[in-house]
Chain A
Amino acid sequence: MVLLLKVVACFVVLLHCSRAQASSFEVNLTVLPSFIWDDVANRLNALPSILTVSPSQEPSFHSSSDLLLSSFHGDPEISDYCRELLHIFGQRYVSYVNCLVSSARPVKVCLNCFMLYNRLTDIYSNISQVGLGNESCQVTLLRSDRLMLVYELYDKITDIWKTSHCSNCLSNDSLSSDALHYMAKLNESLRCFESQKSNHSELCKECKASYKVLNDLYGRMEKNKSLCIDIEDAMNMTRILWSKSFNCSFPREETVPVIAVSSFMLFLPIIFYLSSFLHSEQKKRKLIHPKRVKSSNSLMNIQDKHS
């Protein structure tokens, strides 16, 4: 059953990664066996049972996987070394994806899975490097076909890693001190919330100090750009708890002074315009009379002509 879950998880991630839409569903189905390769694929006997979504695919799926397996066993192009690397890559990939899915909500993908990710990067760098005894798996595994499956899979998973900004919370392959410090503070606040759960107004007073410390710390980390998705998510949740569930935001309570000052300000221009209207002398223009041949030849004349 655990295996089944793993496969499903794997499948979901794949779907997600390739931003697959309904139309590419079948493509993904056929991709799956080739990636998991031989012994991983052997364990996949349970797979068809969950793939009842498209029953018409079932026979072809079987036959194609069998075909692939049989043809690759005797393939001279792939060395045992590369096969071994691929195997390990598959295992680590599955375990990392497994970890990701299980820590999706609330988000703990960095804190829980960074070790697994590091192991995955290790093996991938092994694959992409020139290996022992002049033996290179880079070409055979990464670039020998149009699909470039191993590369694509790794690329997608790296995207997730990058968008989650996990590296901001790590230093030297372990959690950074900032992140740890933040987690400690977070726990402190949450403990406080827990203890005062019954009375919200008490909670706002009691936990304000620890919450403020947490909030300020977060603000500082935001400026340093040392935030990863775990911390952001935890902070978001805490803030929602604080502001919405416990209703501890600042109340709008000094409406009267604000209105007073504003209405005073708004009143000033009225006084200004009235006083300048009443006291300032109106600017007059002196008319000048132009010299014309006939003075009557002007406006009245024009109007006469037009009437």
Chain B
Amino acid sequence: MIPPVISKVFSCYLALLYLNCLTDLRFYLNKTSYLCPQFSGGKLFHIGRLSTVDLEEEIDEEESVVSRPKEIPHNEKLLSLKYESLDYDNSENQLFLEEERRMSQMGFKCLEMSRWLVCALIGILTGLIACFIDIVVENLAGLKYQVIQQNIERFTETGGLSISLILWVLLNSAFVMVGSVIVAFFEPIAAGSGIPQIKCYLNGVKIPRVVRLKTLVVKVCGVICSVVGGLAVGKEGPMIHSGAVVAAGISQGRSTSLKRDFKIFEYFRRDTEKRDFVSAGAAAGVSAAFGAPVGGVLFSLEEGASFWNQMLTWRIFFASMISTFTLNFFMSIYHNKPGDFSNPGLINFGRFDSDSTEYYLYEIPLFIIMGAFGGLLGALFNVLNYWLTILRIRYIHRPCLQVMEAVLVAAVTATVSFTMIYFSDDCQPLGEDQLEEYPLQLFCADGEYNSMATAVFNTPERSVRSLFHSPAGSYNPVTLGIFTITYFFLACWTYGLTVSAGVFIPSLLIGAAWGRLFGILLASFTPHNSIQTLADPGKYALIGAAAQLGGIVRMTLSLTVIMVEATGNVTYGLPIMLVLMTAKIVGDYFVEGLYDIHIKLQSVPFLHWDAPATSHSLTAREVMSSPVTCFNLVEKVGTIVDVLSNTSTNHNGFPVVSRLSDGCEPGKICGLILRSQLIVLLKHKVFVERARSRLNQRKLQLKDFRDAYPRFPPIQSIHVSQDERECMMDLTEFMNPTPYTVTQETSLPRVFKLFRALGLRHLIVVDSDNQVVGLVTRKDLARYHLGKHGLEELQLAQT
């Protein structure tokens, strides 16, 4: 019996060693991959990257001719081909200019009005969704805790508490299973908090399916299930994603999923406009989650600030305000106190306004120490979660395994909670104004309750509030210590599961617990006469919560404002800012923020604020992809179809040149045309010959492009007959005649700035004769990053 076990453990150990070796292997691959031979084509050259379609076989075939495809385990130094850019730069073709010219001044005013209307709608709908989540979670969780509480009470008396434990485990697992199944099988993109995804979207990366209605539905149901299932998660992060989806949906005036088109807001059907509304939606989400409208605006600013203007800020603020007001209004009706606006957000930190919660100058060093500690703990959290996520991506990628994992985590969470409560000796007398919704007595004296149960046997939001506001002495230090440690590991383990859930509340909870512990210890070390000022542990709980959250997510400005708004106390502005600063500095020394880690692990081509610091030596020539696939101004349909259907080079942007010479030299640049435009043209069969034969044919309008947005059909679905292949297509009217170009000597940081500031998707590199020599896309830029050994290059990979 024993030898097999040992051999298993041993093999496991070997496998772990293998994992460690991968780092070295990766380095080796970095070096070799660039030595592979290149293949250059004939008349048409392929660059770029892309492909959303799976074409594994074809790629195998083609690549096997050239070189065997390298296969490496997933790691963070990859860029996935799955992700494409959004077209934040408008294609100013003739159609567009004509339409703009036709529009009167009145028309523009109406447009502006409808922007405000859309923002109001976004606010209202986001607020309503928050309301719905809150009410459902409250009721379901209430029901669950009531059932378990009664069960525990019964079995405390008669014996058989292990049955209560099993009941608790089963209830939790059932809820989490539902939540995890809908996420894993129906919409995997709805997993996690959604903040990294929205961050990417605002950065200009098109994450497939991230703003669909289906995602919203799965997200809302999923978050309800995971919170009710008792996981160490919060419902605040997903609110941001929900807000963004609402915004992307409303602003389009139709739902592709429901196949309903309301024929309104058609002007907004393009990436540029949609992006503005999505940032408003994200802000509205933050605002509904924390009751922090200004924090919401600043969150959008901080996370998606590459494209911004003042008017937009004001509109986003409007959406945020409406959202928090809507939530407040409907919650007040739900609580039967219409007009009592005391629920501005999903999480209510309660008010810190009594005298004992003031802080003094001499406490600021203490706060800074707490900030540093929060940064350390946050870094530890992130490192652990990083390894866990790598393990998950590599080995737990099948949906059924993911569901199993989530269910196991739920079961363990319940077990650990129960064990902690069972073995806790910390009994506190019941107060008159019960902060404890579901007090558990267990082995405490009658009239007392188990204080560990307040922290664990409760929704996380309530626990946070109880840690902030319970009077001094409600928790004993041992309880808090054990709670902090277990919850830290549980939260770390939970984040990244295939359930939709956020990390804000668990971080706050961990921080509040050790912050309170810190406060209690501090009070016990100080001489008795100064206890009055140091005694309030709630204050330290708040600072600890801020430090921990800052250490994990590393947000700065927006988080400060969110915390200040959520506590409703501006006095704490300075301490919270200092704490978040310290936490970020200390944390960044070790590892990046949690969201950035997850973005990297998803292999998203994310453009940071600036180009890597040491990249000035690189020029556009080294960065660009070359040679470029170009089209003539008047191009043969067959050629276009062939290029578009070439699955190995799924390009999206094609420079249009005056005349493609017979050699490899492309002609002078005339413009840029996108795949999506070509597909619409092919679909409507806008051929030169057709136009001649049927003069009465309706002229293609911008509306036709908008109708196809955002889900352009794949090229395979468009049938082009053999005759039609011989036709010609005139691209003059449809291409963007004024694309941005740079010369080959432009430095990388300069190219980067253009990309980041203008939201470009393609940047054409030309030589002195204005001939196309290369094309820079997002992935060409995103692959450079500053690693431990200087500038490093990421690999492109198929995921």
Contacts and interface: CB of A to CB of B under 8 A. Distances in A.
Interface of A: 215, 235-236, 239-240, 242-244, 249-254, 257-262, 265-266, 268-269, 272-274, 276-278, 280, 282-303, 305-306
Most buried by B among A236, A284, A300: A284
Contact of B71 (A265, A286, A291, A292): A286
Given A280-B397, A290-B796, 13 more contacts: A249-B443, A265-B415, A274-B12, A283-B393, A285-B73, A287-B70, A290-B780, A291-B38, A291-B626, A297-B622, A302-B790, A303-B790, A303-B791
Contact of A300 (B31, B56, B157, B774): B31
B714 interface: no
Q: Which of A260, A268, A276, A295 has the most CB of B within 10 A?
A: A276
B446 interface: yes
B134 interface: no
Nearest to A259: B419
B78 A269 contact: no
B72 A243 contact: no
Interface of B: 8, 11-12, 15, 29-31, 33-36, 38, 40, 45-47, 49, 56, 59, 67, 69-74, 78, 81, 156-157, 159-162, 165-166, 169, 391, 393-398, 401, 404-405, 408-409, 411-412, 415-416, 418-419, 422, 442-448, 614, 617-618, 621-622, 624-627, 773-774, 779-780, 789-793, 795-799
6 contacts: A252-B443, A262-B165, A266-B412, A278-B12, A286-B71, A289-B38
A269 B401 CA distance: 12
Contacts of B393: 283
B752 to A, nearest CB: 15
Nearest to A258: B162
Given A269-B409, A280-B398, A282-B73, A288 B34 contact: no
Given A262-B165, A268-B408, A300-B31, A289 B446 contact: no
Given A249-B445, A274-B12, A295-B35, A266 B415 contact: yes
A284 B445 contact: no
Contact of A243 (B8, B445, B774): B445
Contact of A284 (B72, B161, B625, B795): B72
Contact of A272 (B30, B405, B625): B405
Given A274-B8, A285-B71, A299-B31, A261 B415 contact: yes
Contacts of A282: 73, 394-395
Contact of B33 (A239, A276, A285, A287): A287
A306 B614 contact: yes
A244 B448 CA distance: 11
A301 B49 CA distance: 23
A257 B162 contact: yes
Contacts of B791: 299, 302-303, 306
A254 B49 contact: no
B626 A293 contact: yes
Contacts of B36: 289, 295
A260 B8 contact: no
**7 closest residue pairs by CB, A with B:** A243-B445, A239-B446, A285-B797, A284-B71, A265-B415, A257-B162, A287-B70
A257 B445 CA distance: 23
Contacts of A250: 156-157, 442-443
Contacts of A297: 621-622
A168 to B, nearest CB: 13
Nearest to B415: A265
A286 B156 contact: no
Contact of B69 (A253, A283, A286): A286
B796 A287 contact: yes
B34 A285 contact: no
A291 B46 contact: yes
Q: Which of A259, A290, A306 has the most CB of B within 10 A?
A: A290
Contacts of B59: 286
Given A269-B412, A283-B73, A290-B625, A239 B796 contact: no
Contacts of A260: 162
A288 B779 CA distance: 12
Contacts of A244: 445
Contacts of A294: 622
Contacts of B798: 285-286, 288
Contacts of A289: 33, 36, 38, 67, 796
A298 B793 contact: yes
A215 B447 CA distance: 10
A288 B797 contact: yes
A282 B72 CA distance: 10
A249 B444 contact: yes
Contacts of B397: 280, 283
A215 B394 CA distance: 57
A291 B165 CA distance: 59
Nearest to B67: A289
A151 B625 CA distance: 89
Contacts of A272: 404-405, 408
A251 B161 CA distance: 12
Contacts of A302: 617-618, 790-791, 793
Nearest to B780: A290
Contacts of B412: 265-266, 268-269
A291 B792 contact: no
B526 to A, nearest CB: 24
Given A258-B165, A299-B34, A302-B791, A287 B797 contact: yes
A292 B160 contact: no
Given A215-B446, A282-B73, A293-B626, A287 B38 contact: no
Contacts of A274: 8, 12
A250 B157 CA distance: 7
A287 B795 contact: yes
A170 to B, nearest CB: 20
A283 B401 CA distance: 14
Nearest to B448: A243
Contacts of A259: 419
A259 B443 CA distance: 17
A276 B415 contact: no
Contacts of A235: 447
Contacts of B15: 277-278
Contacts of A252: 422, 443
Contacts of B790: 302-303, 306
Contacts of A303: 789-791
Contacts of B394: 282-283
Q: Which of B395, B418, B621, B779 has the most CB of A within 10 A?
A: B395
A255 to B, nearest CB: 8
B622 A278 contact: no
Contacts of A261: 162, 165-166, 415
B49 to A, nearest CB: 7
B34 to A, nearest CB: 4
Find the residue from A272, A286, A303 having the highest chain B CB count within 10 A.
Answer: A286
B419 A262 contact: yes
A305 to B, nearest CB: 5
A208 to B, nearest CB: 10
Contacts of B621: 293, 297
A259 to B, nearest CB: 8
B438 to A, nearest CB: 15
Contacts of A266: 412, 415-416
A190 B19 CA distance: 69
A222 to B, nearest CB: 10
A178 B35 CA distance: 91
A305 B617 contact: yes
Contacts of B35: 295
B184 to A, nearest CB: 14
Contact of A254 (B11, B45, B161): B161
Which residue among A283, A289, A298 has the maximum number of chain B CB atoms within 10 Å of its CB? A289
Contact of B74 (A236, A242, A265, A283): A283
B34 A298 contact: yes
A235 B74 CA distance: 64
Given A253-B159, A269-B408, A288 B445 contact: no
